[in-house]
Chains A and B, each alone.
Chain A
Amino acid sequence: MTSSKNKLDLRKVGYDESGETPRSASFLIEDDTARVASSSERALVMASIRQARVDYPWVRALEWSLVDPETDEFTRIVAQHPDPAGNFIHVKEGAKIRFPAQSCFLLKADRNEQVLHNVIVLEPGAELHLITGCTAASYSNVGKHIAVTEIFVRAGATLTYTMVHDWAPEVEVRPRTEVIVEDGGTYLSNYIALTRVKHIDTNPLAVVKAGGTARFNSIIYAKAGSYFDVGGRVRLLGAGARGEIVSRVVATGSKVISRGLIEGGNADTKGHMECNGIMLDREAVIHAIPELKATYPDTELSHEAAVGKIAGDQLNYLMARGLSEEEARALIIRGFLNVKIDGLPASLQQVIDTMIEQAMAKEAI
């Protein structure tokens, strides 16, 4: 069990230990030890990766089948680790899991390096909403979170993967994620990070086959002293595949590199990217790098990007209704970050809305 203090922290990232919010399955890892692994659905396995290697030997064949262990120094750390912890999720063919599953990666010990390898498999026609919260037990935590995640969305399956990061100011975060979306499958990723962190770099890749869809939404409020290098890559390799990358970034006294790459590599593929950023001060840096790559003639790729400060005429307009400049600024930022995500269950949208409210309330803009 986690302490009551941790309970509060975990709720913040969408992990409900109280049972008040219906969840189909739960997984909690503290540093490198799985504390909770349970499922209320027969068709849904929620286990530690260590246990899964014993119970489902076929999992070993999936590990490192998407991510190349030689990708960079952090994938090598995971590959060379004798026994990385991690999460295994498996949804059986055709199973549509009604309530969201939840997982949480908690950095509890100070100066710890959390090394994880996660595998998620949705068999054909399966559906799952997953919310993953990553956080540190204490605001003063110093640590590293290094994770490789391989996700298999089989034909006609749908995974909505909402990831909430709420780290401490001295934590370094290096997730490496790759996803295969088989024919007609759908992968929707929502990434939310609204608190200060020393360093996050993550640039997940989704390879999409015929008729499949991959969508990355990122909502980032980069507070002073933070460094984010985040984005998404979508390779549309099957005919009729669809891809979308949407990022909303607010930066104050921080540096954010917002990447996006969509590759159209087959007939009737379509991809669209939106990178929008608000700069709150002179110390902030937002570097949007939207990339489109066409390797097949019959593809339609587009992007729009806008980065700048909040327009003065918008502030004046809201002030003419009676809001102070600070209130007007906060209202615009809240609305900018509060993207309503299609297909997200109300309970998970609520988590995001609450996080935004808390982030806005916690720190004067």
Chain B
Amino acid sequence: MTEMPLLEIDDLAVNIGNEPLLSGINLTVAPGEIHVVFGPNGSGKSSLIKTIMGIPPYRVTSGDIRFEGKSILDFPIDARARLGIGLAFQQPPPVRDVSLSALGKALEIDTDRIAAEAARLGMTGHLNRGLNDGFSGGEQKRSELLQLLLQRPQLVLLDEPESGVDVDSLKLLRSVIEQLFQRDRPIRERTVGGIIVTHTGAILEHLHATRGYVLVNGKFMCSGAPLDIFDQISANGFGNCLAEARIKEKIHDFLKE
């Protein structure tokens, strides 16, 4: 039986204004799968995640993004969220006049559930504060994951969930991420999949991510087992991948000629 993928990205090209940002992106995420995107600063990782969520100012110039087989390119952000796509922002904006409690109430989430999840993430004291207003880096990350826990998305998009987090908190975040991806369930019963953008790979342990990609200058340059790619990057930076990509391009050009 072929399972319907959660997410299919087909030959996607994205601009900001007239400036090309991403091109030739192909990625398929099935339920239970975690795909990991590595890449140097400014390579387009966050842009890719935000494009999937529909956040401006990214403009899709060609290709398609499908959620459960249906193109979502014309869907506004909230419609994508309601379909089951959830994003943990890398740098969430401060929303001083809206608290986590007020947001939870607006989303009609049970207050006991909010309280329990907040307690687990050590965010009880932040429930009635302005969202992200004066939050430390670690508090922002915990707040983002708390919101995703409450939202229960089917497609989880995590944009550098571990950056700026101390070692002690990392363990907690890892366990929450495992919960979001239903790592406590047998593989065949997992319905959630997603994409993790990371620099450090520190959260990949125990997650058994499906595939890793290196994004450079808006293109996937190489892919492979996530931990292998991470080890290579740790040892040699992105150089090996770039060299490999250049060789592939040359072979491609040669065959074309």
What residues of chain A have their CB less than 8 Å away from a CB belonging to chain B?
Answer: 311-314, 316-325, 327-328, 331-336
Contact = CB atoms under 8 A, between A and B. Distances in A.
A335 B97 contact: yes
B103 A318 contact: yes
Contact of B103 (A311, A321, A325, A336): A321
Given A323-B106, A325-B76, A332-B98, A314 B147 contact: no
B242 interface: no
Nearest to A316: B55
Contacts of B151: 321-322
Contacts, number: 65
A331 B78 contact: no
Interface in B43-93: 53, 55-56, 76-78, 81-82, 86-87, 89, 92-93
B99 interface: yes
A317 B89 contact: yes
A335 B99 contact: yes
A331 B98 contact: yes
B142 to A, nearest CB: 16
Contact of B95 (A317, A327, A334): A317
B102 interface: yes
A327 B98 CA distance: 12
A335 B98 contact: yes
B99 A317 contact: no
Given A319-B78, A320-B55, A325-B76, 20 more contacts: A314-B93, A314-B98, A317-B89, A317-B93, A317-B95, A317-B131, A318-B98, A319-B76, A319-B81, A320-B86, A321-B103, A321-B107, A321-B151, A322-B78, A323-B78, A328-B78, A331-B102, A334-B102, A335-B97, A335-B98
Nearest to A326: B78
Contacts of A334: 97, 102
Given A312-B56, A335-B99, A321 B76 contact: no
Contacts of B131: 317
B: contact size bracket: 20 to 34
A238 B106 CA distance: 47
Interface string B116-134: 0000000000000011000
B82 A322 contact: yes
A332 B95 CA distance: 8
Interface secondary structure of B, over-half rule: mixed
Main SS of the interface on chain A? helix
A183 to B, nearest CB: 36
Contact of B77 (A311, A314, A316, A335): A316
Contacts of A317: 89, 92-93, 95, 131
B129 to A, nearest CB: 11
Contacts of B103: 318, 321, 323, 331
Contacts of B147: 321
Interface of B: 53, 55-56, 76-78, 81-82, 86-87, 89, 92-93, 95-99, 102-103, 106-107, 130-131, 147, 151
Contact of B93 (A313, A335, A336): A313
Nearest to B88: A320
Contacts of B98: 314, 318, 331-332, 335
Contacts of A325: 76, 78
A312 B56 CA distance: 9
A332 B81 contact: no
Contacts of B78: 319-320, 322-325, 328
A325 B81 CA distance: 12
B106 A327 contact: yes
21 contacts: A311-B93, A312-B56, A314-B93, A314-B98, A316-B56, A317-B93, A317-B95, A320-B55, A320-B77, A320-B87, A322-B81, A323-B103, A327-B106, A328-B78, A331-B106, A332-B95, A333-B97, A334-B97, A335-B97, A335-B99, A335-B102
Nearest to A311: B93
A319 B98 CA distance: 13
A318 B95 contact: yes
Nearest to B99: A335
Nearest to A330: B106
B109 to A, nearest CB: 10
A323 B95 contact: no
Contacts of A318: 95, 98, 103
A312 B76 CA distance: 14
A324 B78 CA distance: 6
Contact of A319 (B77, B89, B92, B97): B77
Most B C-beta atoms less than 10 A away, residue of A314, A317, A324, A336: A317
A321 B98 CA distance: 13
A218 to B, nearest CB: 16
A232 B130 CA distance: 27
Nearest to A328: B78
Contacts of B82: 322
